[in-house]
Structure 1
Amino acid sequence: MKQVKPKKNLGQHFLTDLGIAKRIADTVDACPDIPVLEIGPGMGVLTRFLVEKPRLVKAVEIDSESVAYLNEAYPSLRENIIGDDFLRMDLTDIFGGKPFVLTGNYPYDISSQIFFKMLDYRDLIPCCTGMIQREVALRIASQPGCKAYGILSVLIQAWYDVEYLFTVDETVFNPPPKVKSAVIRMTRNDTRTLGCDENMFKRIVKAVFNQRRKMLRVSLRQVVDAASLPHDFFDHPLMTQRPEQLSLDEFVTLTNLAAPYIR
């Protein structure tokens, strides 16, 4: 069977260590009894372990060469290999509107976009696991006060509990990436509403972290209508904080404070 050559333009780094592949595949067991959607299976190093589990597995792969390889290597999965761009797909009907686990060895350059899409479909995705660049994993799992705490930390932790599971060295990939990787698991929490306007929340979080070294009384000026502000608006105690110091609840408070004055 002809091997698939990793494509740089697709950010492909094929995992070669079967022991690590099985460990990644087993992360889905924390959310049993529902189907699994694998993103970017490549030559199926995770797929081989996922299909052994007693649940339906589907795989989304944008690379036509990989799709052909998977069809030949996993004939039992042939009807469930989707040749498409995950970022452009409507996930509602993947499993007939039923919840599913998202997993994969995610391309580094689009992992954040994948997780933002996960948030859009959070009611369908109670669990998301997989391998990403270690720096991004640390960012997602980071807590307030840490240097890595940022937009991904706040937006994902608003809806998911995050576990940093283990680190993966560069040497177990073909071709080896220039950075270390990490495996994480995100499990849907009990939050159903934030207690503020969600769109405003996202806008404010992104705005203040884009100027993360500045106090909120400075960074907020880019999104509020200064002429409409109460005279004491910037006297609120939060305004002397920097974004990495704020907890999730404080971001909700900030959103409710600023939302009436957003341009």
Structure 2
Amino acid sequence: MMKPSDIREILRDLGTSPKKGLGQHFLVDQSVLHAILDAADIRNGETVLEIGPGLGVLTDALLRQGATVIAIEQDKKFAAFLEHRFLGQPFRVVQGDAAHLDWLPFVGSSPWKFISNLPYGITSLALRKALWNERPPERVVVLIQRDVAERAMDSLRGASGKYKAKPKTNLLSLMLALSSLSARIVRRVPAKCFYPAPKVVSAVFEIIPMPLGERTEKWGIDPEKIMEVAKVGFAHPRKVLASNLSREKDLTKAIVEQFLEEVGVNPKARAEDLSAEEWAALVKRFVVGGSSLLVHG
């Protein structure tokens, strides 16, 4: 496990320093690394995709567990460093921006897992690319901001009766609810577990994706259609949902309010007030009504 002094020495040799814009915070805590590996449950020869490997702390641990690791690293110096460090091992580094690359050609046709210390700035995008492609991973274990993980979990547990008030939904928590069999916070991770320390607390977050074939059966509609409408609904979060959705050419606010009432939702609700089940019911009502919300693009 690298210590901060090791990281500083390597960075000095590479003639670089941590780039805030790329979310470069290097893990320096062994117990957190063990928690990630325990959750990942790596089997020998398994394919793992890692985004933002940095100097290879997690990469090295995954390889020692027997994984075949494909890493996408945007920093050219880090990519070259990793290629040299893991030469001769079942490892491939792709230098580029993971946000703009198609991941599937890299993982091939075999089952795969998505294990990463994610740069905070691409959390939602990375999870969407993992969970909503044509071959989702078997398991996702990522280091993300604690508040993002906790809000997602609150929304997923909304019907458990633990809360006096119904938890608020956002696009990430809705996406997880629509595409996951289960999710959990494995452990919270203080800022001191990274070098340099970020300004936020993190969490190890585990997701078991729902197979694509089961999603439409569960929700009674293609979840992509639900997300398509939800993006419009969340476009102006402080406005009521009926106002956001009535911006579409064939919908009036009165029609949207009627649809909301028909599916048991307060017509004055905001997008964040709807659960995944309510979003699914609303979008199915739009389908019956032939809304252009579902035929754009």
Q: TM-score, normalised by structure 2?
A: 0.78
For 1:77, give the aligned amino acid: Q
Q: Is the 8 A contact 2:72 2:97 kept in 1?
A: yes
The alpha-carbon distance between structure 1 residues 234 and 6, as it changes in their structure 2 partners (threshold 3 A), is closer
* Bigger mean CA deviation after superposition, 54-63 or 174-183: 54-63
Aligned residue number for residue 250 of structure 1: 278
Aligned residue number for residue 93 of structure 1: 105
Distance across 1 between alignment mates of 2:54 and 2:33: 13
Instruction: State the shift of 1:33 in Å.
Output: 6.5
The alpha-carbon distance between structure 1 residues 232 and 116, as it changes in their structure 2 partners (threshold 3 A), is closer
Provide the aligned C-alpha RMSD in A: 2.7
The alpha-carbon distance between structure 1 residues 182 and 230, as it changes in their structure 2 partners (threshold 3 A), is closer
Q: TM-score, normalised by structure 1?
A: 0.87
Q: Deviations over 1:205-251 (max 9, x none)?
A: 22333444554434432336236959954642324344334332221
Aligned residue number for residue 66 of structure 1: 78
Number of residues of Structure 1 aligned to a counterpart in Structure 2:
262
The alpha-carbon distance between structure 1 residues 235 and 110, as it changes in their structure 2 partners (threshold 3 A), is closer
Instruction: State the shift of 1:19 in Å.
Output: 2.6
Distance across 2 between alignment mates of 1:81 and 1:13: 19
Give unpaired runs (5+ residues) of structure 1.
none
* Bigger mean CA deviation after superposition, 204-213 or 179-188: 204-213
Alignment match of 1:192 (pick from 215, 230, 251): 215
Percentage of pairs with the same residue: 30
The alpha-carbon distance between structure 1 residues 113 and 230, as it changes in their structure 2 partners (threshold 3 A), is closer
For 1:238, give the aligned amino acid: V
Give unpaired runs (5+ residues) of structure 2.
1-5, 12-16, 159-165
Instruction: State the shift of 1:32 in Å.
Output: 7.8
Q: Does 1:106 align with 2:127?
A: no
Aligned residue number for residue 159 of structure 1: 179
Aligned residue number for residue 262 of structure 1: 292
* Bigger mean CA deviation after superposition, 231-240 or 197-206: 231-240
Distance across 2 between alignment mates of 1:56 and 1:91: 15
Aligned residue number for residue 162 of structure 2: none
Distance across 1 between alignment mates of 2:248 and 2:41: 43
Distance across 2 between alignment mates of 1:40 and 1:166: 21
Q: Is the 8 A contact 2:71 2:93 kept in 1?
A: yes
Aligned residue number for residue 247 of structure 2: 222
